[in-house]
Amino acid sequence: MRTLSIVIPVYNEQDSLSLFLEAARPAVGRALALIGPDARAEYLFVNDGSSDRTGDILTILARLNPDISVVTLSRNFGKEAALAAGIDHASGDAVIPIDVDLQDPPEVIVDMVRHWLAGAQVVNARRSDRSTDGWFKRTSARGFYRLLNRLSDYPIPENVGDFRLLDRQAVDVIKQLGEQARFNKGLFSWIGFRVATVDYVRAARGTGTTKWRLGKLWSLAIDGITASTTMPLRIWSYIGGGIACLAFAYAAFLVAHTITTGVDTPGYASIMVAVLGLGGLNLLSLGIIGEYLGRVAREVRQRPLYVVADQSTVPVAPVAEPI
């Protein structure tokens, strides 16, 4: 018997839950039909510390439907941690993380499963059209992925979100990655395996409002860069080396100039420019080193990524790390 785990992190989504299930069930049913007569689905909701009625509704849904289970986190840990909790607790042979707001169309699951049955271990879903996201989000996302891929040690596909299919083998590898500063898109790409891609059009959010504020997106971006790159750390040796070479050349020029034309020491302006410029660079490089160092400090504390407060079913897998 093969199981498909649909993992859905939810945070204050009381209005989206039943709409999501209504839309997802037929699509997942078609995907199961492709797999075989004894295939079944598991809907695993991760309640990421919701403060509205999401928790109550999920409890009722789980009681009424044997294929729905709920993991409740003890507070809002953020989508990346909630998704990690879902992946840790999913028992299926393939795991599909999906947003509850129907921006990831459930019909794509059928295509994903088709590729999975054909042998792919990771099936990415690429948004071919993001016109429903605002102009700012689109442009900033594009710029960010350009930069990230320039810097990153491994390619992270643009326009691919968390919505994808992960084979059990890939999931088991991801579960071993205990990184604190989660950037799932980076981890999903880092693991490798046989990858297939399906294209889809990103829908507008069904109900509710986006849970990402600009500040959160910014820290996700910084997490993404520091989790997948070391280039920003190394670059300072080259910048420093370059500036030192220029300084030596300028010193040689000054010596020659003084010897040939006599003593002359104007230059308050040039000194100020050099001092302020280099001071700024110093602070910038220290700040970047600080970003990485802060993450090292977080890793060293060894806290778990999330805390499970309650679980509607018997645990199918242990929580990643002891508390």
Q: Kindly list the residues in this chain that would bind ligand UDP in the complex (CB under 6 A).
A: 9-11, 13, 48, 76, 78-79, 82, 99-101, 103, 205, 210-212
- Provide, rounded to whole angstroms, the least separation between the CB of residue 211 and Mg ion: 8
Tokens representing residue 227 in the block: 């989790």
Closer to ligand UDP by Cβ: residue 84 or 122: 84
Closer to ligand UDP by Cβ: residue 42 or 99: 99
Q: How far apart are CA 46 and CA 69, in angstroms?
A: 9
Number of residues that bind Mg ion (CB under 5 A): 3
- Provide, rounded to whole angstroms, the least separation between the CB of residue 107 and Mg ion: 17
Closer to ligand UDP by Cβ: residue 82 or 227: 82
Q: What single letter denotes the amino acid at residue 296?
A: V
Closer to ligand UDP by Cβ: residue 10 or 160: 10
- Provide, rounded to whole angstroms, the least separation between the CB of residue 56 and ligand UDP: 16
Closest CA to 17 of 53, 51, 71: 53
| 9: partner contacted, choices ligand UDP, Mg ion, none (Cβ within 5-8 A by kind) | ligand UDP
Closer to ligand UDP by Cβ: residue 9 or 186: 9
Q: Give DSSP secondary structure letters for 188-247.
A: HHHT-SSEEEEEEEPPPP-SS-----HHHHHHHHHHHHHHH--HHHHHHHHHHHHHHHHH
Q: How far apart are CA 75 and CA 47, in angstroms?
A: 9
- Provide, rounded to whole angstroms, the least separation between the CB of residue 8 and ligand UDP: 6
User: Which neighbouring-strand residues pair with 122?
Assistant: 166, 195
Closest CA to 7 of 41, 55, 32, 33: 41
Q: Which of 16, 54, 72, 103 binds Mg ion (CB under 5 A)?
A: 103
16 binds Mg ion (CB under 5 A): no
Surface-to-core class of residue 227, CB atoms within 10 Å of its CB (0-12 exposed, 13-18 middle, 19+ buried): buried
Residues found near Mg ion in the complex (CB under 5 A): 99, 101, 103
